[in-house]
Each structure stands twice: as C-alpha cells, then as structure tokens.
Amino acid sequence: MSTKDLSIIIVDDLQFSRIVVKTALKKAGYNGVRMADSASEALRMLEESPADVVLADWMMPEMNGIELTDRIRQNDEEKGIYTSIILFTANEGIEYLVEAFDHGVDDYLRKPPNPHELAARVSAAARLSIMQNDMLETSRLMEKTIARLQKTALLDDITGAGNEHMLTSELEAHLQEASTRKGGVCLAMIQLNELDDSLKESADEAEKEILISLYRRLRRTVRPTDIVTRLDNNIFGIIMHHSEMSKFRMSALDRIKTAISQRPFKTEAGDIKMTSSIGVHYYSGRKNDSNGRRKSRNGRCNRH
C-alpha cells in the first residue's frame, strides 16, 4: 500500500498542532489525512471510515489520549480490525511510557515532533496496521473453513474454539512430541470467576457474547501456534508448545490476565467486568526422575 492510500487521523484540541502535523505528513507524501479537534470527533470519524493510523495528543480535555486508545481498542475488537495508535506527549519518565503501552498504544513521539521522525514512525505504524489487518482477514477466512469442519465434533459451536475432545487429542500429541524431541508443553486453564453470578438475571445471548469475546481476546493474545479450547461454560484451556521449556515466560500468562481484565465485556445486558483464575501445568521432556520418567510441575491457580 502506498502512502497515498493510507488513512490517517490527527487528534489534537489545538488547531496549530494539528496543522503542523498535517503539513509534515503532506510533505512526506501522506494525502489521506483527516483532522479531529477532540477524541469524540475522532471516534465519529472512525465510525464513518476506519483509519490505518491515529495520531493523538496525550493531554486533551473531555477524553485524553489514553482513554481514546481504550475506546479505539474496544471498537477494533468489536469490528475485527486493527488501528495503529501513536501518542504525542510532553511527559517525561518511563512510567508514562509503561502506562501508554499497557493500554495498547503502539508508539509515541515527543512534542513537538521532528518531521522526518514523524514520517518514519507513521510509516512503521502503518505497516503494523496493514500486517495486523491482513492477519485478521486470514483469521476470518480460517473461521469460515472451521465452520465447515464443525461436523468433526472437535469445535465448540458457540465460540469456534476447540472443544474438550480437541484439547485431549492435541495435548496427547504435544506431550508425545515433547517426550521424543525433548521439548516442553504448558497447559493453562482459564476460568471466568464471575460469569455465572454476573449473568444470572441476563439473557443467554449476553453469555454467548462474553464467551465469544473472550475467545477472540485469547486468540489475539497467544501465539498463532498455540491451541485455544473451551472445556466448560466458563473454562478455557490453552496448549503452548515450546522447543525448550526455558523459552517459556510467565509474561505470556500476564498478557492473558491483562487481556481478560483490562476492559469490560460489552453485552446486550451492559458492560460486564470479569476477573479470572489461571491454573498452569508444565511438562518438560528434558528432565527425568530416578526411575527414568519425565518430570512435570504444576503452577498455582491464581485469581486475577
């Protein structure tokens, strides 16, 4: 995709700042640039037509850049698309950057931005957006294929995730491979703590919306090769295979925890906040006990 085809939205309550950024982008060859004087105006523009990149000021009245990022990420999740987000900030200190990245910001620029750096960062953000949207489109095509395979009784008919039969079959295969090739397997079990209580007075459709949204969050959080399954009403299982267990990082579970609890689940019954309990079991094909059997170890089941 050429720079002329990219869609960019600049969000800043100061007109001068908007014009400076737009002028720099125009000189760099970016023609599809829209300007919004507030976060709410930017959200309206995104409803009319998606953008590849959103450049927003961190400090704005009504809704700041972090809050805008949360809204965009929620909208992206609902629509099955991805929007790259760059924040402009005058804030100093690593804690501000950590906060921004924790909320899903892709990049940041100090104010006032250098025109050459601005163009380069926008180009990188656009590549990320295009790559993510291509992957999502591939995923949609795969979902259509999966729908045709549901008669194999290996898929959950609500979420499209694998079911308990798939988990058992895949886990057996992965454990066998870990034993013969001396790799490692992690089985994570995720339970939504409040699902039954939150929906006891709600329609079944709200429960389905949460389960479908949870599966999508998990699928986006884990690696493409990881296997996500639904075992019970509010329990999901994830198989993560590693060539070496030393490559497994607990941060993978932190990302799952954050994906579940960071934003409420939108349903016809309203926004519903969820926490989760995660149980982890590790199996390493490299370690043997005194009887020659493979060793495994359990992780704690923690409430998040």
Residue 114: pLDDT above 70? yes
Q: By CB neighbour count within 10 A (0-12 exposed, 13-18 middle, 19+ buried), where does 95 fall?
A: exposed
Question: CB–CB of 206/268 below 8 Å?
Answer: yes
| Three-class DSSP category at 287 | strand
Q: Please write the tens of the pLDDT for every residue from 140-198.
A: 888 877 766 655 678 888 898 999 989 998 999 989 888 887 788 999 999 988 776 55
Residue 301: pLDDT above 60? no
More confident residue, 44 or 139: 44
Q: Buried (b) or exposed (e) across 163-185, using 16+ Cβ within 10 A?
A: beebbeebbeebbeebeeeebbb
Q: Please write the tens of the pLDDT for every residue from 236-278.
A: 999 988 876 666 677 788 888 888 888 899 888 888 888 889 9
More confident residue, 155 or 288: 155
In the chain, what are the domains? 3-137 (3.40.50.2300), 153-303 (3.30.70.270)
Residue 227: pLDDT above 60? yes
Residue 2: pLDDT above 90? no
For residue 283, what are the contacts with CB-CB under 8 A and spacing of at least 6? 175, 178, 184, 185, 186, 187, 294, 296
Residue 132: pLDDT above 60? yes
What whole-number distance in Å separates Cα of residue 43 and Cα of residue 83? 12
Which pLDDT score is estimated for 286? 60
Average pLDDT in the 85-114 region? 86
Residue 96, number of CB atoms within 10 A of its CB: 16
